[in-house]
Chain A
Amino acid sequence: MRLSIKHATRYRFDTPLTYGLQQLRKTPKSSNGQHVLDWVTRIEGGKREVSFEDHHNNVVELISFDRGTTELEVVSEGLVTIDDTSGIVGPHRGPAPLWLYARPTDRTRVGPATRKLLRGIDGDSDLARLHALSAAISEAVVYLVGASEATWTAEDALNAGEGVCQDHTHVFLACARELGFPARYVSGYLLMDGQVRQDAMHAWGEAHVEGLGWVGFDASNGISPDARYVRVATGLDYADAAPVTGLQVGGHGEALRVDIAVQQQ
Chain B
Amino acid sequence: MTETPIFDEMWGRDQTLRQPYASFNSWLETEDTARLRAKQREAEELFRLSGITFNVYGRAEAEERLIPFDIIPRIISGREWQRLTRGIEQRVRAINAFLHDIYHRQEIVRAGRLPAEMIARNEAFLPQMIGVTPPGGIYTHIVGIDLVRTGDDEFFVLEDNARTPSGVSYMLENRETMLQMFPELFSRNRVQPVQNYPRDLCTSLMACAPDMQRANPAVAVLTPGIYNSAYFEHAFLADQMGVELVEGHDLRVVDGRVAMRTTEGYKAIDVLYRRVDDDFLDPLNFNPESALGVPGIMDVYRAGGITIANAPGTGIADDKAIYSYMPDIVEFYTGEKAILKNVPTWRCSDPDSLAYVLDNLSDLVVKEVHGSGGYGMLIGPTATKKELREFAKKLKARPGNYIAQPTLSLSTVPIFTNKGLAPRHVDLRPFVLMSPGGINVTPGGLTRVALKKGSLVVNSSQGGGTKDTWVLED
Chain A residues engaging chain B, CB cutoff 8 angstroms? 19, 21, 23, 49-52, 54-55, 60, 62, 64, 94-97, 99-100, 102-103, 236, 245, 247
Contacts and interface: CB of A to CB of B under 8 A. Distances in A.
B295 A55 contact: no
B253 A49 contact: yes
Interface stretch (B298-306, B337-345, B383-391, B429-437): B298-306
Given A23-B285, A52-B299, A52-B304, 17 more contacts: A49-B299, A50-B253, A50-B299, A50-B302, A50-B303, A54-B128, A54-B302, A55-B127, A55-B129, A55-B131, A55-B132, A60-B302, A64-B253, A95-B104, A96-B130, A99-B120, A100-B130
Chain B interface, DSSP helix/strand/loop, else mixed:
loop
A95 B300 contact: no
14 contacts: A19-B252, A21-B284, A21-B296, A49-B300, A50-B253, A50-B305, A62-B296, A62-B300, A64-B296, A94-B131, A95-B131, A99-B116, A245-B284, A247-B295
B255 interface: yes
A73 B254 CA distance: 19
A62 B299 contact: yes
A103 B296 CA distance: 25
- The residue among A50, A51, A54, A245 with the most chain B CB atoms within 10 A of its own CB is A50
Interface string B94-134: 00000000001010000000001000100000011111100
Contacts of A55: 127-132
Contacts of B132: 55
Contacts, number: 68
Given A52-B303, A64-B253, A247 B284 contact: yes
A19 B252 CA distance: 10
7 closest residue pairs by CB, A with B: A95-B131, A50-B303, A55-B130, A62-B299, A52-B303, A52-B302, A50-B256
Nearest to B103: A95
Contacts of B285: 23
A100 B253 contact: no
B283 interface: yes
A38 B432 CA distance: 49
Contacts of A94: 130-131
A236 B127 CA distance: 10
A31 to B, nearest CB: 17
A99 B118 CA distance: 12
B120 A50 contact: no
Given A19-B252, A54-B302, A99-B116, A49 B296 contact: yes
Nearest to B129: A55
A164 B104 CA distance: 36
Nearest to A50: B303
B115 to A, nearest CB: 11
A102 B127 CA distance: 13
Nearest to B126: A55
B131 to A, nearest CB: 3
Nearest to B299: A62
Interface in B387-429: none
A137 B288 CA distance: 31
Given A23-B284, A247-B283, A60 B299 contact: yes
A55 B103 CA distance: 10
B272 to A, nearest CB: 16
A84 B302 CA distance: 34
B300 A50 contact: yes
Nearest to A102: B120
Contacts of A245: 284
Interface string B299-335: 1101111000000000000000000000000000000
Nearest to A96: B130
A23 B252 CA distance: 15
A63 to B, nearest CB: 10
- The residue among B129, B254, B255, B299 with the most chain A CB atoms within 10 A of its own CB is B299
- The residue among B104, B131, B288, B305 with the most chain A CB atoms within 10 A of its own CB is B131
A21 B295 contact: yes
